[in-house]
C-alpha cells in the first residue's frame, strides 16, 4: 500500500492532520500558522510518497512539522477556549459558584499560556486531544518518562501560577 495512492494518502490525512494542527498550535498559538504548517507537512509527504513507507508516515509527518516550525519564529500567546458548562442567564442571579468557576477557568488559561512551550504541548495533547503519554512521546519525539516529567512540571507550575494570582 503506497502513500502515492490517493485513498491511502487520504486515510493518513484523516488520521493525523488534526493532531498535527493542534500540536503546532499548542507550540505557537497561531491557528492560521498551525494550519499552514500542517498543510506543508502533508505536501512534503505527498512529494516524497514514493520514498516513505506507510508505517513511517506518522514519524515523517511529526518530524517534518516540528522542523518546519523550528524554521519559523513567530510566536503568539496561546489563547484557548473552553466549553461553558452552563449558559449564564442574564435575568436570573448567577450562583456564586458558577462565577467562580468561570473565573478559575480564565486564570487557568492564562497560566497555560505562560507555561514553557515544552510543558504546554504535552499538557494540552493530554488534556484536549486525550492522547496517552505513550502517544505523546511519539508525537513530540521524547521518551515516555520525559513526557511524564513535563506533565508533572506543567501541573506544578499551573498550580503555582494560579495561586499567585488570587
Q: Could you list the residues that contact another protein (CB under 8 A)?
A: 10, 13-14, 17-18, 21-22, 25, 31, 35, 38-39, 42-43, 46, 59, 62-63, 66-67, 70-71, 73, 80-83, 85, 101, 104-105, 108-109, 112, 123-124, 126-128, 133, 140-142, 145, 147-149, 151-153, 155-156, 158-159, 162-163
**Residue pointed to by grid coordinates 506543508:** 40
Q: Which three cell numbers stand for residue 82?
A: 473552553
Q: How far is the CB of 128 from another protein (least distance, A)?
A: 5
Cβ-Cβ contacts under 8 Å for 135 (sequence gap 6 or more) = 125
Of the pair 6, 93, the CB lying nearest another protein is at: 6
Of the pair 54, 129, the CB lying nearest another protein is at: 129
Of the pair 70, 91, the CB lying nearest another protein is at: 70
Of the pair 46, 91, the CB lying nearest another protein is at: 46
Dist CA 39 CA 17 (whole Å)? 8
- Name the nearest CA neighbour of 34 among 43, 44, 24: 24
- Give the DSSP H or E segment for 71: none
165: phi then psi, degrees, rounded to nearest 5: -105, 10
Q: How far is the CB of 104 from another protein (least distance, A)?
A: 6
Q: How far is the CB of 137 from another protein (least distance, A)?
A: 9
CB 65, CB 20: distance < 8 Å: yes
Amino acid at each position: 500500500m503506497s502513500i502515492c495512492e490517493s485513498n491511502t494518502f487520504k486515510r493518513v490525512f484523516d488520521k493525523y492532520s488534526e493532531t498535527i494542527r493542534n500540536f503546532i498550535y499548542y507550540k505557537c498559538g497561531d491557528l492560521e500558522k498551525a494550519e499552514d504548517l500542517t498543510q506543508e507537512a502533508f505536501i512534503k509527504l505527498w512529494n516524497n510518497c514514493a520514498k516513505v513507507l506507510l508505517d513511517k508516515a506518522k514519524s515523517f509527518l511529526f518530524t517534518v512539522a516540528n522542523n518546519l516550525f523550528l524554521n519559523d519564529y513567530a510566536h503568539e500567546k496561546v489563547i484557548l477556549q473552553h466549553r461553558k458548562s452552563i449558559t449564564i442567564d442574564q435575568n436570573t442571579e448567577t450562583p456564586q459558584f458558577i462565577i467562580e468557576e468561570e473565573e478559575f477557568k480564565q486564570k487557568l488559561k492564562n497560566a497555560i499560556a505562560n507555561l514553557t512551550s515544552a510543558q504546554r504541548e504535552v499538557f494540552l495533547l493530554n488534556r484536549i486531544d486525550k492522547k496517552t503519554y505513550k502517544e505523546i512521546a511519539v508525537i513530540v519525539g521524547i521518551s515516555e518518562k520525559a513526557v511524564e516529567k513535563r506533565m508533572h512540571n506543567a501541573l506544578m507550575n499551573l498550580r503555582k501560577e494560579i495561586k499567585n494570582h488570587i
